[in-house]
Chains A and B, each alone.
Chain A
Amino acid sequence: MTVSKRTRLGVAAGRLAGALSRTLTRGQGATISGRVINKIAPNALEELADGQRVTLVSATNGKTTTTRFLATALTTAGRTVTTNSTGANLTSGIAPTLAGAAGPGDAVLEVDERVLPRVIDPLGAELLVLGNLSRDQLDRYGEVHAVSESWRTTMQSHPGVAVIANASDPHVVWAATPGKVTWVALGLGWRSDAATCPECGALLTWSTDRFDCPKCGFAQPATDNILDGDTLVLDGARIPLDLALPGRWNLANAALAVTAAAHLGIDPVHAATSLKTVTSVAGRYMHVPLGDGRSARVLLAKNPAGWTEVLRFLHRRDTAVVIAVNARVADGKDPSWLWDVPYELLRGHETAAAGDRRLDVAVRLRYAEVDHEIERDPVAAARELEGDEVHIVASYTQFSALYRKYGDTT
């Protein structure tokens, strides 16, 4: 791998600009960092990706965990893997990740869903792993259809790129169809962003296990690859997914990762077995000590689709729940999505509202008739709740603050 001085300089300057931006403006620093890299070294990504077989993972939810699963499966099989393990998924995060590569091998990169179309060519991506698309940060990113359209346009101009895609998500199906796709049906979760057909605008009809457009014939693609409970059926083999991470959504992430690993030449059974070693992903599922002998487990939920999955998991458990919500730039400045989430499921749980927007959360809980405490700091809020098990479910910047402070403890 030959990396020019210009590229090294660009990456270093980009990092510096990002750090300055974070210090001076409390911004995330990622945008400016990416711009600086592009300005100084417009070919940085091409150069850095030289010698790497690049797989890109994108989705609204689950991309960081899916990336970690896939990287784990490849590493366990003895591959040399470069991966952005902390969820730095913009150009600004990808360039330094590649600059730190140990050598030629597999690069497994999580990519922001809006950035994906821009980096496929410079990175020479050979495989795309596409999970799901739903509403997220509408003030910043716009509505879902715009994202699936940009993906579809990209696939149309890249018919040779291999794709592993979720057959159960209409937006993903529509976007991926022009590509060379291996489908895997992960099951139907959140459907509120796919009422109408992405192709023709007619109403989609939904049954328990598939969607169809009665007008233009757009439908869930047929595939024998399906997630069946905690088993992945792949090319006729039944592969048990025994994970350390909780929730149905992680089974879906795992199914996608194992399918991708198989495409990259790894035995899917070995790949699946390796996933049990993943216990925490860039702070997701980490435990934060409460100082009274208890600890709280941290979950990231940043939009209604993610929250709906998390609630399905929490409401069956005897757990106290802290809902920690900010509405800063990286969260989306409009927390009205709180009203798309069935918080009514938390009735009977010890519950607290935390974060900058704790009052928005508290009003939502009042209308859901869920008794709650109100406390800005999520850890202090967790301490106020009774019970042996406590979960802090945090929006993105709340989560990042906890991760910075407590790091990975598991």
Chain B
Amino acid sequence: MSAVRDSAVRIGLIYPELLGTYGDRGNAIVLVQRTRWRGIPAELVEVDAGEPIPDSLDVYIFGGGEDDPMEMAGAGMRESKASIERAHANGAVVLAVCGGYQLIGHRYIAADGEILEGIGLVDVETRAGSPRLIGELVASPNDDVNWGEFGPPRALTGFENHGGRTTLGEGVAPLGKVLAGGGNGDGSKTEGVLAERIIGTYLHGPVLARNAELADRIIAWVAGSIPPLEATLEQSLRADRLDAAMVRGVHRWWRDRMLARG
């Protein structure tokens, strides 16, 4: 058991008014509550648009946003790039979803060729693609990487809604393999990115509400050993969503087969 921290875990919700289109605040709520329920003090720190991002947070949550807000968020993140990098080097976790995921990569290249520069925290690049990938997304977590003492979480579920096609650089690990849905959408059948204490993903839901096991790994990364929590309800939700997505997956497989025949 590592030492229990005496200072509050600082969960940073970055630019919620810009990067919060898909219930992204929920990821922060889940982390704060699951930390507190274990008797560890936790604090939600909202960084408003236009403010510099401090280097003193334990978790940096970047959510998804519409085009203009995303451009503005990108500008703010680039200005605070050194601060985010410093925090990460000192042990902070980065959770970036959808637009946020694209912005922690090198760049996002829009359909008209316009380039939105990211902060290059991970070696990924996103291009706008078509069609938009919308629906339930299930991914089996990458177990080639070190997840810490809990090991990898079980299959991750969420809802994706994006037009991005994200390509990982050489040797960069995905968060998981796509079982149903689109994920990174670049033909690699991968979903998201996983680096040392960095998760990038297209899973909304919000992802941590739908996948409590992933939330607990993030908390363990910043707070050390943590006791388990009662999780009947979360497991029921996860089972319900897995059923919904996988039924559709089988249906899609059947439809594809029929089409191939015709």
Instruction: Give chain A interface residues in 327-363, CB to chain B under 8 Å.
Output: 333-334, 336-340, 359-360, 362-363
User: Which of B23, B25, B68, B159 lies in contact with A333, CB distance below 8 A?
Assistant: B159
Q: Is the CB of A333 within 8 A of B135?
A: yes
Contact A196 B69 (CB under 8 A): yes
A313, CB-defined interface residue at 8 Å: no
- Of the residues B30, B50, B71, B134, contact of A201 by C-beta under 8 Å: B71
Please give me the residue from chain A that is nearest to B18 by CB atom.
A195
Q: Which one of A138, A192, A193, A367 lies within 8 Å of B33 (CB-CB)?
A: A367
Q: Which interface residue of B24, B50, B209, B240 has the most chain A CB atoms within 10 A?
A: B209
Q: Considering the chains assembled together, what is the distance between the CA atoms of A409 and B50 in angstroms?
A: 51
Q: Does A364 contact B (CB under 8 A)?
A: yes
A135 CB-CB contact with B under 8 Å: yes
- Nearest 8 interchain pairs by C-beta: A339-B26, A336-B23, A339-B23, A195-B17, A201-B68, A359-B237, A334-B159, A143-B66
Q: Is A77 an interface residue (CB 8 A)?
A: no
CA distance A338 to B210 in the complex (A): 12
- In the complex, the chain B residue whose C-beta lies closest to that of A140 is B134
The bracket for how many chain A residues form the interface is 20 to 34
In the complex, 15 of the A-B residue pairs with CB atoms within 8 angstroms, ordered by the A residue number, are: A138-B161, A139-B134, A192-B20, A195-B17, A196-B72, A203-B50, A333-B135, A333-B159, A336-B22, A336-B206, A340-B23, A360-B209, A363-B233, A364-B209, A367-B26
Query: A339 touching B233 by the CB < 8 A rule?
Result: no
Which residues of the other chain, B, contact A203 by a CB distance below 8 angstroms? 49-50, 72
- Least CB distance, A364 to chain B, in whole angstroms: 7
- Residues of chain A in range 243-285 having any CB-CB distance to chain B below 8 Å: none
Question: B23 near A144 (CB under 8 angstroms)?
Answer: no
Residues of B near A201 (CB, < 8 A) are 68, 71-72
A201 to chain B, nearest CB (A): 4
Check if B234 is an interface residue, CB within 8 A of chain A. yes
Cβ of B30: which chain A residues have Cβ within 8 Å of it? 367
Proximity string of chain A (67-95) to chain B, C-beta cutoff 8 Å, 1 when within and 0 when not? 00000000000000000000000000000
The distance in angstroms between the C-alpha atoms of A203 and B209, with both chains bound, is 29
Chain B, interface residues (CB within 8 Å), range: 20 to 34
Least Cβ–Cβ distance between A8 and chain B, in angstroms = 38
What A residues does B29 contact at CB under 8 A?
A: 339, 367-368
The answer to whether A145 has its CB under 8 Å from any CB of chain B is: yes
**B67 contacts chain A at the CB level, 8 A cutoff:** yes
- In Å, the complex CA distance between A197 and B67 comes to 12
CA distance A191 to B49 in the complex (A): 14
Complex interface bits, A176-209 against B, C-beta within 8 A gives 1, otherwise 0: 0000000000000001110111100111000000
Q: List the A residue with the shortest CB-CB distance to B28.
A: A339
Complex CA distance for A407 and B33, rounded to whole angstroms: 41
Q: In the docked arrangement, what's the CA distance between A203 and B76, Å?
A: 12
Q: Say whether B205 faces chain A, with CB atoms less than 8 Å apart.
A: yes
- Cα distance, A33 to B18, chains bound together (Å): 38
Most B-side CB within 10 Å, residue of A191, A337, A339: A339
